[in-house]
Structure 1
Amino acid sequence: MTTISQARPSLTNNDAAVLQALFDAESSPSSGVTVDSSLPPWPATVNISQADFNALKARETQIILKLQTTETPTQETVQSALEELNALLEEYPTYPPAYTNRAQTLRLLADLQYNQRHTDAEPSRTETNTDESLFTPEAADLSSRIFADLGKAITLATPASPADPISSVQARLLADAHTHRGYLLLKAARVKKTRSEREVENVGPERLRGHSADRLEEMASRDFFFGGRYGNKVAQQLAVQTNPYAKMCGAIVKEAMRKEMEG
């Protein structure tokens, strides 16, 4: 755990407490979430019985296993998995995990399509940066669908009140979905910072294109905060790194330390 010492220039107790909260990921109010393992997997609003949940989980597992039989599945295999997930969601449109799994499957499809385009253009090329696969004009529809699915899963799984206890299944999904979306928002922010305005004009979901890189990073930080709040340790660290107030205070502290050393 990071500690803030009161070296010169001296800090008041209140200042030290504020800095401690900003820089220490463990100070995130994850204790505000009550996880009750005795609760049903999903709240009543999801309207899925325990029996249906067990059957859906088994069905979903079979779909995902098809994607894991080889190190790199074919586009045909991925498309088949997407069709099965679409069918499952048509029958059970309030089942949150199918949305997060469909988002992951769509990301896999974006990677495969990106690799295929670059291999066709440069046959001798053996490695491609699939981290950029969602941030091309060709992938705009896929990225929109991914953000929509992650948003839907989060909406369905989020408790009506922050004080409401949640199941361990619910907490895990919310942690993963918020962290996944935060990562994509952070990537979108970095793409916006490193490419020209013309290059990013038709990149990513249309609803995000009008946002600045700093605004996208703030949105990512918020998702990382919630990902950490629901139990994802990596998200807790990323929430601190992307928090605009933490970064601002970090710059102030660094400048104060530099001046002290020079003096």
Structure 2
Amino acid sequence: MTTITPSQPCLTSNDSAVLQALFDAESSPSSGITIDSNLPSWSAIVNISQQDLATLNNREAEIIRKLQDSENPSQKTIQSALDALDALISKYPTYPPAYTNRAQTIRLLVDTQYKQSHPENTDSSDDALFTPEAADFSSRIFADLGQAITLATPSSPADALSTVQARLLADAHTHRGYLLLKAARVKKNTVLPPMEEVGPERLRGLSADELEEMASRDFFLGGRFGNKIAQQLAVQTNPYAKMCGAIVKEAMRKEVEGDK
């Protein structure tokens, strides 16, 4: 009688790497990124002198401090900060942090307006970004995050990044990924008007799954630049990981039912 011994599964090194990347949030996000703490924060990439950069940093901090001095800043205070950031960007259009700060300030304005008009609603006001009334605001937020990412991303993947540069890229990609994921949830729930009618033009007509895939990509990049939360979210929203996870769950369910 011939004895048949089941062969052990054999994965190529490439297959193993793919599976590891799908399920292990720590496996690959930071690979290929060189962060040099000795590099100057921005002067090397924004074409701004060190003296002007110091003045710019102080002015930016002053603007943000006014928003942070109050737990619930007024619309007037927020609008004043937006006007100041507009002026700052007009004078220094290559300075990435000003764009991320303006994006966050616009979100704060939308949040404040929503809470004032819906005092009875204690739920998250992020959905308000995807209403027709906030279409211009959401477009500006995505534009600012995209511009910050474009300006801060090195021209070559082999180029080293400063610590501040890597942190901004991590935060900007994670911020955009979160908004894309929120847009996907809004699309799936269809509580608000369809995304074809609201939101940034680049999102109109996209399905919830397409939006979630875009979010997954941003989370992957956010994790690659060092954001730990983005690393976890990249795995959770990765369509291939989700598909493999669904297959494993189905196999386990059938096994349990078979035992019964």
Change (3 A) 1:16 1:145: same
Q: Deviations over 1:133-169 (max 9, x none)?
A: 2111100000000000000000000000111111001
Q: What's 1:48 paired with?
A: 48
Is 1:127 matched up with 2:125? no
CA distance in 1, matches of 2:10, 2:88: 57
Query: Is the 1:82–1:102 contact (alpha carbons within 8 Å) kept by the matching residues of 2?
Result: yes
SS at match of 2:31: helix
CA distance in 1: counterparts of 2:208 and 2:184, whole angstroms? 4
Distance (whole Å) between structure 1 residues aligned to residue 234 and residue 62 of structure 2: 34
Aligned to 1:25, the other structure's residue is in SS state coil
How far, CA to CA, are the matches of 1:158 and 1:126 in structure 2? 39
Q: Which moved more, 1:13-22 or 1:129-138?
A: 13-22
Match of 1:12 in 2: 10
Q: Please say if 1:26 is aligned against 2:64.
A: no
Query: Retained in 2: the 8 A contact 1:19–1:249?
Result: no
Is 1:257 equivalent to 2:252 in the alignment?
Answer: yes
Q: Could you say which residue in structure 1 is the equivalent of 2:64? A: 64
* Number of corresponding residues: 251
SS at match of 1:26: coil
**Residue 218 (structure 1) aligns with:** 213
- State the TM-score, normalized to the length of structure 1: 0.89
Per-residue CA deviation, residues 206-245 of structure 1 (Å, 9 max, x unaligned), is 2211111100000000000000000000000000000001
2:3 corresponds in structure 1 to none
CA RMSD of aligned residues (A): 2.0
1:228 to 212, 220, 223: 223
1:37 and 1:192 map into 2 onto residues whose CA distance is: 41
Task: Judge conservation of contact 1:141–1:205 (CA < 8 Å) in 2.
Answer: yes
- Counterpart CA distance in 2 for 1:9 and 1:235 is 38
Percent of residue pairs identical: 73
Tell me, what secondary structure is at the counterpart of 1:163? coil
Query: Cα distance 1:9–1:84, how it changes in 2: closer, same or farther (>3 A)?
Result: farther
- In 1: Cα distance, 2:134 partner to 2:18 partner: 42
The SS at the match of 1:166 is coil
Unaligned runs of 5+ in 1: 1-7, 120-124
What is the deviation of 1:16? 5.4
Bigger Rg over Cα: 2
SS, match of residue 69 in structure 2 = coil
Partner Cα separation in structure 2 for residue 192 and residue 87 of structure 1: 35
Say if 1:28 and 1:225, in contact at 8 Å, map to a contact too.
no
Q: Which residue of 2 aligns with 1:169?
A: 164
After superposition, what is the alpha-carbon deviation per residue over 1:98-145, rounded to whole angstroms, capped at 9, x for unaligned? 0000000000001111122224xxxxx263531212111100000000
Q: Which residue of 2 aligns with 1:138?
A: 133
1:177 aligned counterpart, secondary structure? helix
Residue ranges of structure 2 left out of the alignment (5+ in a row): 1-5
Tell me the secondary structure at the aligned position of residue 30 of structure 1. coil
Which residue does 2:96 correspond to in 1? 96
Change in CA separation of 1:26 and 1:144 when aligned onto 2, cut-off 3 Å: same
Kindly indicate whether residue 238 of structure 2 is the aligned counterpart of residue 243 of structure 1: yes
Cα 1:47–1:246 shift into 2, 3 Å: same
**For 2:105 and 2:191, how far apart are their aligned partners in 1?**
29
Q: Deviations over 1:46-96 (max 9, x none)?
A: 111222222211110100010011110000000000010011111101000
Superposed displacement of residue 43, structure 1: 6.0
| Match of residue 115 from structure 2 | 115
The DSSP-based 3-state class of the residue aligned with 1:218 is helix
User: What residue identity is the alignment partner of 2:160?
Assistant: P
**1:3 matched to which residue of 2?**
none
Q: Letter of the aligned partner of 1:146 in structure 2?
A: I
Normalized against structure 2, the TM-score is what? 0.90
Q: Secondary structure at the match of 1:160?
A: coil
